[in-house]
């Protein structure tokens, strides 16, 4: 690997290679959320103008690409389109089609895809499997046990103390995790998952896991089966309401960089967390290519660390770009994004040029009233053009659709409004200035995105 390390504005060590101008590419982005809009938007920023498609996309991607009437989980439909249209690259956004084996099907057809095979996607699709891999690789993480019997799970609770974490083993749209403050809450979560089948097959097994104290951070690593490049850190805000109150959501906002992870910590995260997992998967015959997302817990001095004693522990792995982390990380990347993704897919990441701009970023989710519970759809959205007109702002669509000449709500998280700036305060203020111009019936948002970074100061 030819490297000449440099420090970006985010002070993240990145490999610096030959930029080059990549030829025009036909690219299909799979998915319909804010993450996929951000991926499509970033591809559209490349100097080379690509031919972009989204399956199924949303009202935002429609301005940048051709939306296809194919669901993200319709593996057969996507494969049929790819077979007929022969895209140069397919970028798979959500976890569900990855776990269903979309990349495997495309690879068998000779179509290059960015994302792990189904076996690799089990790092997100099965928390039990991810724990097995981490333990085998010596990666620091909390102690956990897996159960299929509710009584056995309840009997194990005293060994973990309080708080304790109860997790559904499978995919639960980011909502299958309960941090129980009392034994009654923990037992209720176990009952919901194993007895009441609240999350269906995803909750047929549950993990009882030790609670880790500290501050969370998300690290997105680009992986080509052998090598890895870490993108700048970010911090998600999972709780629905200000002050980190209320139920867990898919994410109510994010910012990057996250000061909880310093530049000096990044090499250790790569060498002690990311690469050991990549190597352990390879030992098991799984060549992992795509994004390996590490959700980390950073414990401050004097805090309660995991039984391993490490101050940085893995809370979870995901097999794709995070959402809303993607909306703050990708706008900070310079260079040819399509080339970076293709280099991962082809196993030659050493040729990619990943450069981080000096700008900082923050994003605010504008959500439907009732989210993450039940919510109404079809509410007319106003102010989108005004929001996009705020200098330094980008409006990413998460759950929208075009209807009768208007843009209406079609999901719980409706919009992700990103602000860029030379410092975090400017980025946050820009995001809120733009978000404030958007309205629809029942809209709500948190007002304290990046509060931990500001509190730290």
pLDDT in tens, 373-429: 999 999 999 999 999 999 999 999 999 999 999 999 999 999 999 999 999 999 999
Residue 307 has pLDDT above 90, yes or no: no
Residue 24 has pLDDT above 70, yes or no: yes
Which pLDDT score is estimated for 201? 93
Structure tokens that stand for 62 in this block: 């429609």
Average pLDDT over residues 27-37: 98
**In which band, very low, low, confident or very high, does the pLDDT at 15 lie, cut at 50, 70 and 90?**
very low
Looking at 9-18, 169-178, 276-285, 424-433, which range is the least confident one?
A: 9-18
**Mean pLDDT comparison of 13-22, 295-304, 340-349, highest-scoring range:** 340-349
CATH architecture of 360-456: Alpha-Beta Complex (3.90)
Which pLDDT score is estimated for 227? 94
Which pLDDT score is estimated for 22? 57
Angle at 236 between CA 232 and CA 238, to 5 degrees: 165
- Diameter of the chain by CA atoms? 60
CB contact at 8 A, 291 and 321: yes
Average pLDDT, the chain: 92
Average pLDDT over residues 254-275: 95
Average pLDDT over residues 433-444: 98
Which pLDDT score is estimated for 176? 87
Which pLDDT score is estimated for 305? 57
Nearest to 163 by CA among 130, 205, 208: 208
**In which band, very low, low, confident or very high, does the pLDDT at 351 lie, cut at 50, 70 and 90?**
confident
Residue 2 has pLDDT above 80, yes or no: no
Residue 268 has pLDDT above 50, yes or no: yes
C-alpha to C-alpha distance for 42 and 36, rounded to whole angstroms: 10
CATH architecture of 25-117: 3-Layer(aba) Sandwich (3.40)
Q: H helices within 170-273, ranges in order?
A: 183-190, 266-269
Tally of CB atoms within 10 A around 46: 19
Residue 6 has pLDDT above 70, yes or no: no
Instruction: Give the start-to-end residue ranges of the domains of the chain.
Output: 25-117, 149-204, 213-356, 360-456
Residue 10 has pLDDT above 60, yes or no: no
Which pLDDT score is estimated for 456? 81
**CATH T-level topology, domain 149-204:** Dna Ligase; domain 1 (3.30.1490)
C-alpha to C-alpha distance for 295 and 314, rounded to whole angstroms: 6
Average pLDDT over residues 121-125: 97
Structure tokens that stand for 446 in this block: 């948190």
**End-to-end distance of the chain based on CA atoms, in angstroms?**
38
* DSSP H helix total and E strand total for the chain: 15, 26
**In which band, very low, low, confident or very high, does the pLDDT at 304 lie, cut at 50, 70 and 90?**
low
71-92 burial, b for 16+ CB within 10 Å, e for fewer? bbebbebbbebbeeeebbbbbb
Which pLDDT score is estimated for 353? 80
What dotted CATH number matches 213-356? 3.30.470.20
**pLDDT tens-digit map of 160-216:** 999 999 999 999 876 788 999 999 999 999 999 999 999 999 999 999 999 988 999
Residue 19 has pLDDT above 80, yes or no: no
Burial of 182 (0-12, 13-18, 19+ CB in 10 A): exposed
pTM of the predicted model over 0.85: yes
Within a 13 Å sphere around the CA of 13, how many CA atoms are in the beta-carbon half?
13
């Amino acid at each position: 690997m030819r490297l000449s390390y440099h420090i970006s504005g985010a002070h993240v060590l990145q490999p610096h290679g030959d930029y080059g101008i990549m030829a025009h590419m036909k690219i299909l982005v799979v998915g319909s959320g804010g993450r996929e809009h951000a991926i499509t938007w970033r591809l559209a920023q490349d100097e080379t103008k690509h031919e972009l498609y989204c399956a199924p996309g949303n009202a935002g991607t429609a301005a940048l690409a051709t939306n296809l009437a194919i669901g993200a989980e319709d593996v057969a439909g996507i494969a049929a389109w790819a077979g007929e249209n022969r895209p140069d690259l397919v970028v798979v956004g959500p976890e569900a089609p990855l776990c269903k084996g979309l990349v495997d099907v495309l690879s068998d057809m000779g179509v290059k895809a960015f994302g792990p095979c189904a076996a690799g996607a089990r790092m997100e699709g099965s928390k039990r499997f991810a724990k097995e891999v981490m333990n085998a690789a010596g990666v620091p993480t909390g102690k956990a046990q897996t159960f299929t019997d509710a009584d056995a799970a309840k009997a194990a609770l005293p060994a973990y103390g309080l708080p304790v974490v109860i997790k559904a083993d499978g995919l639960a749209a980011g909502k299958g995790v309960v941090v129980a403050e009392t034994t009654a809450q923990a037992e209720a979560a176990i009952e919901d998952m194993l007895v009441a089948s609240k999350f269906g097959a995803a909750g047929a097994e549950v993990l009882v896991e030790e609670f880790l104290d500290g501050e969370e951070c998300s690290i997105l690593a680009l992986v080509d089966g052998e090598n890895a490049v870490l993108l700048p850190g970010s911090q998600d805000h999972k709780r629905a309401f200000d002050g980190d109150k209320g139920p867990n959501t898919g994410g109510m906002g994010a910012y990057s960089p996250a000061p909880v992870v310093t530049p000096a910590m990044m090499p250790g995260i790569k060498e002690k967390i990311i690469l050991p997992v990549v190597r352990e998967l390879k030992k098991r015959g799984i060549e992992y290519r795509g994004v390996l997302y590490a959700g980390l817990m950073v414990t401050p001095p004097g805090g309660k660390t995991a039984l391993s004693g490490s101050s940085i522990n893995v809370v979870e792995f995901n097999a794709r770009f995070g959402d809303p982390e993607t909306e703050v990380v990708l706008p900070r990347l310079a260079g040819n994004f399509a080339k970076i993704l293709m280099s991962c897919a082809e196993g030659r990441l050493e040729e990619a040029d990943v450069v981080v701009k000096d700008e900082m970023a923050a994003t605010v989710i504008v959500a439907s009233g009732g989210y993450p519970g039940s919510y109404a759809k079809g509410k007319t959205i106003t102010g989108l053009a005004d929001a996009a007109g705020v200098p330094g702002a980008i409006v990413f669509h998460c759950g929208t659709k075009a209807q009768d000449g208007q843009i209406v709500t079609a999901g719980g998280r409706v919009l992700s409004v990103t602000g860029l700036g030379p410092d975090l305060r400017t980025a946050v203020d820009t995001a809120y200035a733009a978000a404030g111009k958007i309205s629809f019936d029942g809209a709500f948002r948190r007002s304290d995105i990046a509060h931990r970074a500001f509190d730290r100061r």
